Amino acid sequence: MKLSELVELRNQLEQLDVDQAKLNAQIDLNKIMFVAQASTNADLLTKLQTDYQQVQTDFDQFKVTAQQILSELNKQINEQASYWFQESYRLYDQEMSKFETTDYILNRRLTMPTDAMELIRGRLRMHANWKYPGMIIRPGLEDFVEELVCYDPLYLVDQSHDLLLPCLQKFNPLYQNRLRSYSIKESLNLPILEKIPNNQFGVVFAYNFFNFKPLDLMRRYLTEIYQKLRPGGILIMTFNDGDQRRAVEEVENHFACYTPGRLVKEMSHSIGYTEVFRWSHPNEASMCIELKKAGELASLRGGQTLAIVQDKIIDTNKKTL
């Protein structure tokens, strides 16, 4: 079986509850036992009671066998996963990071359902606050930046200035001067976001960015973003959830990196994040999660700064008033 087929089979088995099936059977069998007590045949009643106990034992054995099958599936998944982790890094290192053009990256857009897109926008609006700086990694051609313009300042981050241009050009020159645009260089061994200040951001948003990063590089980013967030700050991100068949098919077709949601969750917890929200769907490759840095957001800003530009008045003696 291919990895995508194994993952689908595991997910189906995990959704089936043997204990619930046992409970439903007990309810119906208890009704039968209650009605059968009106019978005057003591031997048959005794046999019925014995058979009832055997059914409970069989359910318990059935659960054990089902768990053994699930364990075997996980073993097969893990055996194949090691190859796809390596293949994801090869894909990133030899193809994505070297041959992808700016136009290709910008036009490689996710096809998430409309309700999911609106859900993400709603989460961004819920956290929007001018008291804190915000950051969006790979704003691309999407319009999510419109939900983030209240942040002061707003940082735009990507691997080249050309990737940021479509977003920058959405705004007039006056607002562009308020934006902070940064080009970064990715590395597993060197800091990626070193030019960006620590403990500053209320929200960091990365949509359709980590879908194309191998797990080790994602760990590097999440660790550094944790340093950039204020206590209580939020990271909202999407990634290719390798715990779903659709996402694994993307991996098998060499279109995205293999990043299982279970491992991303374990990794984020080990860094210090708490998961506060997630959206996923069995028929979708991408998962959206919201991770919170420990602590509570705080700001010294008491009111939003207003700038007034005035012309100087010059008297006849050339004195500035």
End-to-end alpha carbon distance in the chain: 83
Residues 31-60 have a mean pLDDT of 90
Whole-number mean pLDDT of the chain? 90
Is 309's pLDDT higher than 70?
no
Does residue 97 surpass a pLDDT of 50?
yes
For 176-184, the CB contacts below 8 A with 24+ separation are 178/152, 178/153, 178/154, 179/153, 179/154, 179/155, 180/153, 180/154, 180/155, 180/156, 181/155, 181/156, 181/157, 182/155, 182/156, 182/157, 183/157, 183/158, 183/159, 184/157, 184/158, 184/159
Confidence of residue 307 (pLDDT cuts 50, 70, 90): very low
Q: What share of the chain is helix, strand, coil (3-state, %, to 5)?
A: 50, 15, 35
Of the given ranges (122-131, 170-179, 257-266, 297-306), which has the lowest mean pLDDT? Answer: 297-306
Please report how the helices 215-228 and 42-91 are oriented relative to each other, as an axis angle in degrees rounded to 10. Answer: 80
The pLDDT value recorded for residue 304 is: 53
Residue with the two structure tokens 């054990």:
64
Tell me the pLDDT tens digit for each residue of 63-75: 999 999 999 999 9
pTM: 0.85
Q: Is 239 helix (H, G, I), strand (E, B) or coil?
A: strand
Looking at residue 140, what DSSP letter applies? T
Query: What CA–CA distance (Å, rounded) separates 278 from 267?
Result: 15
For residue 302, the model assigns a pLDDT of 60
Most confidently modeled range among 35-44, 106-115, 197-206, 280-289 = 197-206
Q: What is the mean pLDDT of residues 135-143?
A: 95
Express each pLDDT in 253-290 by its tens digit: 999 999 999 999 999 999 999 999 999 888 899 999 99
CB 225 within 8 A of CB 218: no
Q: How far apart are CA 36 and CA 275, in angstroms?
A: 52
How many alpha carbons fall within 13 Å on the CB side of residue 284?
Answer: 18
Query: Which amino acid, 158?
Result: D
Per the CB < 8 A criterion, the answer to whether 304 and 279 are in contact is: no
Residue 70 and residue 16: Cα distance in Å, rounded? 11
Cα–Cα distance for residue pair 123/98, rounded to 1 Å = 34
Q: Which residue has the tokens 């046999």?
A: 47
Strand partners, 136: 156, 205
Rounded Cα gap, residues 81 and 242, in angstroms:
10
The pLDDT, as a whole number, for residue 299 is 78
Residue 99 pLDDT greater than 90, yes or no: no
User: What is the mean predicted confidence (pLDDT) over 158-179?
Assistant: 92
pLDDT average, residue stretch 155-181: 93
Q: For residue 261, give every residue at least 6 positions away whose Cβ sits within 8 Å of its Cβ, in sequence order, or none.
A: 239, 241, 242, 243, 244, 280, 287
Q: What is the pLDDT of residue 176?
A: 87
Q: CA gyration radius for the chain?
A: 28
**Closest to 221 measured CA to CA, from 210, 229, 231, 232:** 210
* CB half-sphere exposure, 145, CA atoms < 13 A: 24
pLDDT at 110: 87
pLDDT at 300: 67
The percent of residues in the chain predicted with pLDDT above 70, rounded, is: 93
pLDDT at 151: 93
The average pLDDT across 126-137 equals: 94
**Does the structure show a pLDDT above 90 at 98?**
no
